[in-house]
Amino acid sequence: MIKIDNVSYSYSKGGGVSNINLTIEDGEFVFLIGPTGSGKTTILRLLYMDLFPKAGKVIIDKFDSQSIKKRKVPYLRRRVGIIFQNYHLLEDRNLFENIALPLHVLGYDKEEIIELVNESIDEIGLTGKESHYPYELSGGEQQRACIARALIKDPDIILADEPTGNLDPVASFELIKLLEQISKEGTSILMASHNYNLIKSRGHRIIEMQNGSVRQ
Amino acid sequence: MNKFIFILAEGFKNVWRHKSSAVSSIFSIYLMLIVSGSLLIISQNTNKLIEYLRDKYKIEVFFKDGVTEKRVAELVEDFKSINGVNTITVISKKDAERIFKSQFGDDILSILGYNPLPISCVINLKKDWPAKIDIKPIIVNLRKYREVDEVNHQGKLISRIENYYETFLKVMVIIVSISLIISVFIISNTVRLTVLSKKELIKSLQLIGATKWFVKAPFIIEGLVHGLLATILSVYTIIGILNFSKYFIYDLTRFDIFYDKVFIFQVLLSLSLLVGFIGSNRAISRFLK
């Protein structure tokens, strides 16, 4: 379960979020919408503890932002899959190596890594492109690779920051369907987007952000 | 174990991935090792020279007339307990007579009718003093004995040699320290550039749950590999130069340069690994703060 309890955060150059209260149950798919600068990314960064609240607290299962030690943050992130608009794939590693990276961090052995990564590449429909580097893949393929990298460690939570931002409508629709399928298997998903038309008919809870606050 | 193998492999792969910055890092460690290695060899040979000179340091003690050989033997035992004294050779009146004859060709007994030469002893000093030898306390100790008539020594010469040696050791430590510090800064800056160019990788590793050490270790291994490569290059360079020049130096000075290849490798490897570790750890730690 994710709980954001009366959280405020402000950047030194202005902006941020104030008095945010939000709860996401296990397996729930929630959209976070709002214009650029409304605080969506700040919420996500607070959730994966890249930022710490200046007031209030963030709780993800047993991890509490008020009491967590900095050296324990990696253990929280191992349970969270993060998907970015700009993919964040490593340019000097091929598709296989990019997807395998979280498994190396978790200490999986070579045979398991080969099996899981090949399975994952197959699931996202990129079989045959294992040795392709990110610049050799299309935007949609890179985003699918990014999702595969987030999912390969079987996370409890997925945080997606504008994952459809660089995709055409068809690829965006497919990506939402893929995330819905993952959510049905019990993974909580919080997806930030400013494309209301894409998400309005999906039947999931929508939280609207404006000027750093949740719009009631 | 799987993590360890991955980190190790990443460290080695990084050397190849960042080959242009690796060249400048290896070259700066290489220069530092050449300076340190040369100073090490100079220091070893200076040490050999100083031991040779110390072997020649002697203090001659002349006893007063009438002091018996038995009393001299007792005094010699006392002298042996003085700090810095190594061996003592007693020269009896008869020995002195023989030495006089061998040096001047005349028999002193036939000239004077008696032997006026006193009993004496020659004191050799220890060679392996930790720092410079100071013979003043030894002389003061010897002069305390009322049986001692005269103490001859090369005090000024010894103290001059020992002062030069002491200054040399200090200068050497300063030069090695400076070259070490410069190397740490160069490596640190080289690795920092690499780290900055790998911001994306570091951020990705942090976001997928890599611990600080998991992020740092490949960069540190990379620094250690730079150190290892620089050591191999510098040891070959130093030994090559020594092999090439030692015959010329021997022809000119009759001084046979002494060096121990294994010892040089061990010292330079330790230095380079230390510099590689400190430099790369400093760069990545500052970035991860």
How confident is the model at residue B175, as a pLDDT? 85
Contacts of B17 in chain A (CB under 8 A): 92
Contacts of B3 in chain A (CB under 8 A): 104-105, 107
pTM of the shown model: 0.69
pLDDT band, residue B131 (cuts 50/70/90): low
Name the more confident of B284 and B88: B88
Contacts of B8 in chain A (CB under 8 A): none
Question: What is the predicted ipTM?
Answer: 0.83
Q: Report d(CA A28, CA A44) in Å as an integer.
A: 16
Mutate to test the interface with B, among A105, A109, A146, A147 (most CBs of B within 10 A): A105
Please tell me which of the candidates A71, A91, A101 has its beta carbon nearest to residue B212.
A71
What average pLDDT does this structure show over B257-261? 81
How confident is the model at residue A115, as a pLDDT? 94
Contacts of B209 in chain A (CB under 8 A): 74-79, 102, 105-106, 153
How confident is the model at residue B130, as a pLDDT? 63
How confident is the model at residue B17, as a pLDDT? 78
What average pLDDT does this structure show over B262-273? 88
Which regions of B32-144 does DSSP assign to beta strands (E)?
A: 58-63, 85-91, 120-125
Single out the residue of B216, B208, B235 nearest to residue B14, CA to CA.
B216
Name the more confident of A121 and A13: A121
What are B71-104's pLDDT values in tens digits? 888 888 988 888 888 889 989 888 888 888 888 8
Can you spell out the DSSP letters for B145-174?
Answer: -TTEEEEEE-HHHHHHHHHHHHHHHHHHHH
What average pLDDT does this structure show over B15-35? 82
Q: What is the 3-state secondary structure (H, E, C) of A70-109?
A: HHHHHHHHCCEEEEECCCCCCCCCCHHHHHHHHHHHHCCC
Please tell me which of the candidates B17, B205, B214 has its beta carbon nearest to residue A92.
B17
- Helix/strand/coil for A168: coil
What average pLDDT does this structure show over A98-127? 91
Q: B203 and A88: CB-CB below 8 Å?
A: yes
The answer on pLDDT for B132 being more than 70 is no
What average pLDDT does this structure show over B49-58? 77
Residue B39 has which token pair?
Answer: 């100073």
How confident is the model at residue A35, as a pLDDT? 87
- Residue B74: what residue type? E
Single out the residue of A66, A65, A84, A85 nearest to residue A76, CA to CA.
A65
